[in-house]
Amino acid sequence: MNALHLTDYLVFLFYFIVVASYGYWVYRRKKKTTITASHDYFLAEGSLTWWAIGASLIASNISAEQFIGMSGSGFKMGLAISSYEWMSAACLLIVAIFFIPVYLKNKIYTMPQFLHQRYNSTVAMIMAIFWLLLYVVVNLTSILYLGALAINKISGIDITLCMYLLAIFAIFITLGGMKVIGYTDVIQVFFLILGGLVTTYIALNLVSEKFGTTGIFNGFKLMMQHSNDHFHMIFKKDNANYIDLPGLTVLIGGMWIANLNYWGCNQYITQRALGADLKTARSGILFASTLKLLMPVIVVLPGIAAYVLHQQGNFQTEMLQNGEVNPDRAYPVLLNLLPEGLKGLSFAALTAAIVASLAGKANSISTIFTLDIFKKKINPDASEKFMVRVGKITVVVAMILAVLIAPLLGIDKKGGFQYIQEYTGFVSPGIFAMFILGFFWKKATSNAALFATVGGFIFSIVFKFLPKFADLSFLSASGFSKANEAGIYEIPFLDRMGFVFLICVIGMILISTWDNRKGNKAHGLEIERSMFKLSTGFAVGALFVLGILAALYTFFW
């Protein structure tokens, strides 16, 4: 039944009171011990601990698109979708080792600031406006609408009302600044993981009971027996889902670009570590990397369990949308099977994931607009106190805009997680090329950066629509194209990202070389070899994470 009981509401109310009270306590304590400064509000400079940074990274990352979309992908294609989570663990280590030291050494607080310092104000302003549009029109709206849709399916509460309530809850947390977000995210992650594990536990038990046994381990074994095709990490070319996850590309291709761009070149994510010292930032990112290993247990296994139960005749009508099975219904259907009380806990976990992501993105929108647009172009003489006020107004305006336009965008599509990943991939290759060469190649110029930004987007569109005008079947032997349902050979989007990234890098090198010959020198960053030296503790932790990843991919190859 799509409704919550009194016990469920009491559990959820307990979660709300704990998060709100703790957030208010952190806010009041912060007001007493710090001045109202912009860096304190936007970055919580020097006040977030390693565990708060790590928890905040995960809380900001995991949202409705993971709980709903990734579970749906687990239903459709199986454990292979976990590559987005497990490869993130490896990419976080790279960000901690190579990216964060560069940001901290050069006192970088926002991504547009990096571009201004490394290239020029034109590149920085273009990307600042672009990121604002992306965060408001794509990120905030998708989290709000998918989240409201999921809550509606579980509780029966009106979708529009759900969006307003989620927005108000997120605004309440965001107005306290980055420190409040960071520390409340610790509680959000607790509820997120606890509620997620409860859902997984119940799902595995349901599978075991369906076949006349009990216990989660029996349930897992039965899942592997009855859906063996759902427990392979690397797809072969004849797999129906190859276009979404093209074989070894998840290990040596476009998956790296998607993840490194997301975790290393994204204001919304990197902001958590930019206010800390290097040791604290690295420790927090290592903690997040370790938690990433656990995420598929919470968001993918329930989807596979739902698939096995569905194959055995369960909830045949509940999974249907317009007469077809919609994988994105898997997680809400499972939650509706939970007993009273536990359903409230899982409902709180889903809400925690949504609110934490909304708060994190709203804070990043506020930071970019205030520090990179308002302070630089509108009112350069603005006081610290006035900038914080502008930041808070920006949060409210951004959330109102998201609530108003979210229903108009048609976000509730089948395969939500894959849909979001593909269309984010239109801009990821160019941005990542611009950042990675900006980090480690002193000769990269602003003209080259503009080429990567604009050219990367154009080439992504060209590769997307090229199959309509050219026969790409000759690429099928190498695995770089596969026929879709209409018989047209498409390039898998992760491979498209790889191709576009290589084009952007080559183009940047050629343009930068030409610019340097003409005397247009680039602006370098301050980089020293000692910045990348690792502590023994971090090195041991990183090796542990990589060892677990190697074991997982070997076992589930």
Sign of CA dihedral 179, 180, 181, 184: positive
Long-range contacts of the stretch 375-378 (C-beta < 8 A, 24+): 376/121, 377/125
Residue 324's φ and ψ, nearest 5 degrees, are -120, 155
CA neighbours within 13 Å on the CB side: how many for 195? 27
DSSP string spanning 177-234?
Answer: -HHHHHHHHHHHHHHHHHHHHHHHHHHHHHHHHHTT--SHHHHHHHHHHHTGGGS-SS
Report pLDDT for 35.
Answer: 43
- pLDDT below 70 — which residues of the chain? 1-2, 30-47, 177-179, 182, 268, 320-322, 409-423, 520-524
- Give CA torsion, residues 388, 389, 390, 392, to 10 deg: 90
Could you tell me which residues come within 8 angstroms of residue 6 by beta carbon, excluding any fewer than 6 positions away?
none
Report pLDDT for 82.
Answer: 92
The CA distance from 170 to 359, in Å, is 5
Report pLDDT for 293.
Answer: 93
Give pLDDT tens digits for 433-448: 999 998 888 888 989 9
Single out the residue of 151, 140, 185, 142 nearest to residue 331, CA to CA. 151
- CATH numbers and ranges of domains, the chain: 6-424 (1.20.1730.10), 425-526 (no CATH)
Single out the residue of 67, 61, 64 nearest to residue 89, CA to CA. 61
Cβ-based neighbour number of residue 339 at 10 Å:
10
Q: What angle do CA 64, 67, 69 make, to 5 degrees?
A: 80
Q: For the packed helices 159-174 and 384-405, what is the interaxial angle rounded to 10 degrees? A: 170
Reduced 3-state DSSP string for 453-522? HHHHHHHHHHHHHHHHCCCCHHHHHHCCCEECCCCCEECCHHHHHHHHHHHHHHHHHHHHHHHHHCCCCC
Cβ-based neighbour number of residue 547 at 10 Å:
10
What the block records as the tokens of 496 is 């498209």
**What is the total residue count of the chain?**
557
Could you tell me which residues come within 8 angstroms of residue 52 by beta carbon, excluding any fewer than 6 positions away?
182, 183, 185, 186, 284
Give pLDDT tens digits for 150-174: 788 777 788 889 889 889 888 887 7
What the block records as the tokens of 145 is 């609408």
Report pLDDT for 95.
Answer: 92
Cβ-based neighbour number of residue 91 at 10 Å:
23
**Cα distances (angstroms) measured from residue 191 to each of 38, 149, 167, 180:** 30, 20, 19, 17
The CA distance from 399 to 311, in Å, is 41
Residue 377's φ and ψ, nearest 5 degrees, are -115, -30
Report pLDDT for 36.
Answer: 47
The CA distance from 348 to 15, in Å, is 7
Partners of 483 in beta bridges = 489
The structure's pTM equals 0.85
Single out the residue of 331, 344, 356, 313 nearest to residue 194, CA to CA. 344
Q: Which residues of 344-373 are buried (b: 16+ CB within 10 A; e: fewer)?
A: bbbbbbbbbbbbbbbbbbbbbbbbbbbbbb
